[in-house]
Amino acid sequence: MQSTPTLPASLRTTMPYVDGAFVATAKRFANTSPIDGSRIAEVCEADAPLVDRAVRAARAALDGPWGALSPAERAQVLHRIADGIEARFEDFVAAEVADTGRLVEQARSLDVARGIANFRTFADLVKVGGGETFESRTPAGDLLNYTVRKPHGVIGIISPWNLPLLLLTWKVAPALACGNCVVVKPSEETPSSATLLAEVMHDAGLPPGVFNLLHGFGPGSAGEFLTRHPMVDAITFTGESRTGEAIMKVAAEGVREVSFELGGKNAAVVFADADFDAAVEGVLRSSFTNSGQVCLCSERVFVQRPIFERFVAALRQRTEALRIGYPDEPGVHMGSLISQSHRQKVLSYFALAVEEGATVVTGGRVPHFGDARDNGAFVLPTIWTGLPDDARCNVEEVFGPVCHIAPFDSDDEVVRRVNDSKYGLAAALWTTNLKRAHTVSRRLHVGIVWINTWFTRDLRTPFGGARLSGLGREGGRHSLDFYSEISNICIQL
């Protein structure tokens, strides 16, 4: 079609979902296409009374039929939800593409596919995610200790705009699997797929109050009302580090648990012994996937000096071959940024890099199409060289299709430079030296290290960051640990 995707009819007026019903509100805001700036939907904003109603509905549902289900019975419900997403697969694709401007193929192969996998993975995991058992002999007699998992209660879930369905289901699925009830606040930029998920939840027969959805903004709106609500037992958030800090302060009232996946200024390290072509393709992908709007993207690239000039030239050639355009246009590799306001942020870093003395290898500007896309939020993928490590463009997260490439000489040097960051989310190493791969990986202060790959995930493994990149781990049993209370039962035999 090579145009702005059309949302499913039910989303033209996008409403909150509270206590088993969709709710229209008087206060509304526009959902605007990042592809051409057109208005694609009207979104009903939740006020404080509606947030309170959602939280109380979740609290009441804990003591209802949902709380009485066994893990195996909850798993059956999660599989029905996955079936519901599969049945409306193309609707979810259209919603993701319309809200974000991402490529149709990416929405199909990554976002919606992972949304389904998240529910199936945690449905299966909760059935075997039992506790520990210890037998011991004491002067008081023989003891049997065993642990059980109990729901945390009401979980407040705040999800971001960059991978809306993937990251929302990454939290909702384990929360429900553990028997919790949830109140969800997606980004105001991407309300559509979350609302479709509410429709699927409803059709799957989820009891009223188990899943609640609120639309709105952060401060002074649904996000703040939700995190401040005293009946919310735990909060999970993915987004900017500054927002995470603000939520953590609020969560301290009542000593509520939090799980944060925050920002990153991730590094890719290319050693001279790397498979050169694989490294070029890997860095191309890790820098520009989803227009650089992935917290795991590589904005800092370190290349060992013997291959530095060759690598910069090769990456430039591959970058300039990337096509930018409509999400469904054949041969297109990159879509738009999420919004005009975010584009202004990215463009400010384009200007700052020049002020700081960067060499603009390629990009650094807005493309011109001569059609409706000129009203969208597009920028060219951009490569810089020549900046010191302490330049703002090498320190602050841009969250756009950018990378700075710098040479290095030794393993010790590059480890020090990679670790010289207030963030600590991820790194990617490119080398054929097995000993170097293991040794360097252990020395990096990050939550995940990829070796000769990037953005590949086994959903059973721990995921999270250090420093300003987050708090806690999710994935597999780590998610079950956050979304449940673990109680020990001690019996004297």
Q: Tell me phi and psi for residue 192, to 5 degrees.
A: -75, -50
Q: Which residue has the tokens 């870093």?
A: 349
Query: What separation in angstroms does the CA of 137 have from each of 134, 142, 145, 489?
Result: 10, 4, 11, 16
Report how far apart the first and last C-alpha atoms of the chain are (Å, whole number).
Answer: 71
Of the residues 188, 199, 224, 261, only one is catalytic, namely 261
Q: How far apart are CA 68 and CA 118, in angstroms?
A: 23
355 part of the active site: no
CB 120 within 8 A of CB 78: yes
Q: At which residue do the structure tokens 């509270």 appear?
A: 18
Asked if 397 is an active-site residue, the reply is: no
Burial class (CB in 10 A: 0-12, 13-18, 19+), 167: buried
Candidates 295, 297, 393, 403; catalytic one: 295
Is the separation of the CB atoms in 431 and 415 below 8 Å? no
Whole-number Cα distances in Å, 357 to 244, 393, 426: 32, 11, 27
C-alpha closest to that of 288 among 416, 398, 196? 398
Instruction: Give all strands (DSSP E) within 139-287, no chain letters.
Output: 141-151, 154-158, 181-185, 211-213, 234-238, 257-261, 266-270
Residue numbers annotated as active site:
261, 295
